[in-house]
Structure 1
């Protein structure tokens, strides 16, 4: 067997062991998980996550995931907590402590202080009978049969299991809070994700003189001139009360040409699409994108509460804004 094949075989073995460890967590869930969710959900302060070494690294990620999904949270190093950072924890907070052995000295040292403070404690351990587990108000069992490390020394399966249970906790709380995509956006204002979640249709739509619109008696030829002038590949069609009654797009034009109609004599109402896909100014741009993809169209008419067209949006606008 070549060295390359050996590398791949090793990777597959590691992934298999870790996948089995995560899958086993489903059977290890019990009322302790529900209790942990209740404690975090009813927390009046912050969820403070702590852990030493590799558990600390996992704890930092759990804290970050909680904070970005509606549960205010931050990480406190257990060693630093014994030298002043304990002041960062209040009786209104809930503490989540990670230790695979459940006996990590720096974490166990904090237990009497947390009890005196009155902060509820959730433990994430691989030893349900450990000191940390027994001291907790709710213990999440993340014990694994074996580490992926062939020496059984480097935390691998155990840290993966702890990370997975942290994600499970965060998502359960997200769902319980009714946390929305817009709420999520406020925690992620930067980069492509922020653009996708924060931008609204009103920020991108063409409006005013840039809005292609004709009344339903306008000839097909004049409608084509309006579409060409605005360059959006479509035009809204309105009635006497300026309400949207249809849309005419490049796709409609291709179908119309097959009918060999008189472009100057045919009113647009005869060939327009009456069931126009629409959105609103306050809708998220990401929602508009989803609608376009679902309906397999390249543009939307934006309407107000009275069915009046107030804007138009196409796929190129979303592409330029980085939403697509």
Structure 2
């Protein structure tokens, strides 16, 4: 097959699936709102179930719900008939996925679900199907045709079902007032979690590791402190630990250009006054933004009275995975 033909076929698939999603927009209606209400009122968990490709889509929908504030898990309908049905409690809501609405393994569960009084939300492509007729709410995910040239393999229909699941998850997220911080708490291992959960105090240098010299010290002493602490700078503080300036590698280059004497020049003569500082309780991501905005690689950490609390370098943020 020629490359042009392959490209044409790929574009055709995307066109068919795009049309399927467009048609789905009009079905976000009162039934969709009722499905959301059932899930919001759920005191247990949302149990998503489906066979075959519907099962794969159901797994993803359950994962998306769980990570966006709606406790959920996937239940394989085949396993449910052999003991796993015990995972469903009367406080749960079941979301059943079957494009035909006639999947035998799923229909077998309906009397058992109904017996517990568990609400059933169905997603299928046939409003007249057995699954749809038994459901408390039916969400129509019908497509005009599959992207498969044989019109057999679930393609456009699975995309539509997945999109409907995403629509539910996001609507519920919004209704619950779910925040980025809430999302981060369920994703502590991801980059978003690190950006939203790591604070400056978690990664900053503190105590004796903070480069600092007192006002009145000679330039030579500042150079020793910068070299010893390895952060490319040192804070300059007064007798009350308040930050009055910073001396960086850049300040050193400018000082050398002036041929300043290392022993007679006082640090306050060559420091940069009024340096940028950050609070220890601020997010590390805020430190990144501040460094990027001002084109600097290090920050001093200070309290509200500008007393030195710590120091932070871009490398610390890289090691912590915040960047």
Q: Same fold (TM over 0.5)?
A: yes
Query: Retained in 2: the 8 A contact 1:246–1:276?
Result: no
Alignment of 1:280-291 (within 5 A): 280=280, 282-291=281-290
SS of match in other structure, 1:109: helix
After superposition, the Cα gap between the structure-2 partners of 1:135 and 1:57, relative to the gap in structure 1 and judged at 3 Å, is same
State how far apart, in whole Å, the 1-side matches of 2:257 and 2:176 are. Answer: 54
State how far apart, in whole Å, the 1-side matches of 2:249 and 2:127 are. Answer: 65
Q: TM-score, normalised by structure 1?
A: 0.84
Query: Retained in 1: the 8 A contact 2:31–2:139?
Result: yes
RMSD over aligned Cα, in angstroms? 3.1
Q: Name 1:13's counterpart in structure 2.
A: 12
State how far apart, in whole Å, the 2-side matches of 1:284 and 1:45 are. Answer: 34
How far did residue 307 of structure 1 move?
Answer: 3.9
State how far apart, in whole Å, the 2-side matches of 1:87 and 1:98 are. Answer: 19
Q: Name 2:151's counterpart in structure 1.
A: 152
How far did residue 235 of structure 1 move?
Answer: 2.5
How far did residue 318 of structure 1 move?
Answer: 2.4
Q: Name 2:248's counterpart in structure 1.
A: 249
SS of match in other structure, 1:242: coil
How far did residue 222 of structure 1 move?
Answer: 3.9
Single out whichever of 137-146 and 54-63 deviates more from structure 2: 137-146
Q: TM-score, normalised by structure 2?
A: 0.84
Single out whichever of 153-162 and 141-150 deviates more from structure 2: 141-150
Alignment of 1:113-192 (within 5 A): 113-190=112-189
After superposition, the Cα gap between the structure-2 partners of 1:304 and 1:204, relative to the gap in structure 1 and judged at 3 Å, is same
Query: Retained in 2: the 8 A contact 1:216–1:269?
Result: no
Alignment of 1:205-224 (within 5 A): 205-218=204-217, 222-224=221-223
Q: Deviations over 1:119-143 (max 9, x none)?
A: 1222222233433334333333322
Task: Tell whether 2:72 aligns with 1:110.
Answer: no
Alignment of 1:229-240 (within 5 A): 229-240=228-239
State how far apart, in whole Å, the 1-side matches of 2:82 and 2:39 are. Answer: 26
SS of match in other structure, 2:272: coil
How far did residue 216 of structure 1 move?
Answer: 4.7
State how far apart, in whole Å, the 2-side matches of 1:316 and 1:288 are. Answer: 12
How far did residue 55 of structure 1 move?
Answer: 0.4
Q: Name 1:30's counterpart in structure 2.
A: 29
SS of match in other structure, 1:160: helix
Query: Retained in 2: the 8 A contact 1:279–1:288?
Result: no
State how far apart, in whole Å, the 2-side matches of 1:296 and 1:41 are. Answer: 46
Q: Name 1:274's counterpart in structure 2.
A: 274
Q: Deviations over 1:78-134 (max 9, x none)?
A: 222233222210111111111122232222332232222121222222233433334
State how far apart, in whole Å, the 1-side matches of 2:50 and 2:108 are. Answer: 12
State how far apart, in whole Å, the 2-side matches of 1:86 and 1:54 are. Answer: 21
After superposition, the Cα gap between the structure-2 partners of 1:212 and 1:159, relative to the gap in structure 1 and judged at 3 Å, is same
Q: Deviations over 1:231-278 (max 9, x none)?
A: 112333334432344444334555666777776435437742525141
Q: Deviations over 1:35-73 (max 9, x none)?
A: 323322232111100011110110011112222232221
Q: Which runs of 5+ in 1 are unaligned?
A: none
After superposition, the Cα gap between the structure-2 partners of 1:261 and 1:127, relative to the gap in structure 1 and judged at 3 Å, is farther
Query: Retained in 2: the 8 A contact 1:98–1:124?
Result: yes
Query: Retained in 2: the 8 A contact 1:289–1:318?
Result: yes
